[in-house]
Amino acid sequence: QVKVVESGGGLVQAGGSLRLSCTASGLTLGGYTMAWFRQTPGKEREGVSCISRRLGSTYYADSVKGRFTISRDHAKNTLYLQMNSLKPEDTAMYYCAADLALSEYDVCRGARRLMYWGQGTQVTVSS
């Protein structure tokens, strides 16, 4: 049985940094295209960043480019999202997802029903 778990969220002041982690039992993250999504009440879920399973190609939403970095540690079977220069508009529940799609763009921007999701970790950025 696959279980995806996010951690690392919290309360931070604007301009600060957080690093989110995503671990998965029952699957090897390197064999999946991995994604970070975020959602706030009343808004559509947004694909923040994705990394493809074969080439490690990355996608970033325009709103986070230059501030967020997605990475994988294969030895630890862990996905990360380093978030710097945080803004109040980054406040959201952040979710980790895994899918067998080859394209990071398809996962982050497509309409695919992704295979596995975590329960989310809350990020709150105060002004």
Q: What would the pLDDT profile of 12-56 be if each residue is shown by its tens digit?
A: 999 999 999 999 999 999 999 999 999 999 999 999 999 999 899
pLDDT, mean over the chain: 96
Which one, of 120, 73, 62, lies nearest residue 96 by Cα?
Answer: 120
- Nearest Cα neighbor of 23 from 11, 13, 32, 15 is 32
- Residue 91 is which amino acid? T
- When pLDDT is averaged across residues 81-109 and rounded to a whole number, the result is 96
For position 22, what pLDDT does the model report? 98
If you count them, how many residues does the chain have?
127
β partners of residue 39? 93
What is the average per-residue pLDDT within 93-114? 92
| DSSP-assigned beta bridge partners for residue 13 | 126
Helices marked H in the chain — which ranges?
A: 104-109
* Per-residue pLDDT tens digits for 59-72: 999 999 999 999 99
